[in-house]
Amino acid sequence: MAGKTRKWKDIYENLDALTREDRNEIDLKVKIVGEILEARKGKGLTQKELEAISGVKQTFIARLENNRMDPQLTTILKLLHPLGMTLAVVPMEGQHKSTHE
């Protein structure tokens, strides 16, 4: 799936055709969006209020929270910052650090 943006609807209609990598990518995206939603609600913010402090349109936030779109990393970062969160890159479970460091 990397490098090619698909609509959630298309992905869900073709679940049986997904590779393990595709499924893992979807799971990660769902977790990230879920964390954004929980943080917004935890701070007592409406989508419109999050729009005002993030610069991301409320309609986009609604589509994101309803899994109707695949956002760019820049957009995710714009939403996370005012929620007091960031995105971290960490080793996957069961993976060892690279020896090329």
| H helices, E strands: number in the chain | 5, 0
Q: Is the pLDDT of residue 26 over 80?
A: yes
Q: Is 0.75 surpassed by the pTM of this model? A: no
Domains of the chain: 8-83 (1.10.260.40)
C-alpha triplet 51, 24, 3: angle, nearest 5°: 70
pLDDT digits (tens, 9 = 90+) for 33-67: 999 999 999 999 999 999 999 999 999 999 999 98
Find all residues with CB under 8 Å of 96, minimum gap 6, and list them.
none
* Helix, strand, coil % in the chain, rounded to nearest 5: 60, 0, 40
- Contact by Cβ (8 Å): 76, 36: yes
Q: What are phi and psi of 34, to 5 degrees?
A: -60, -40
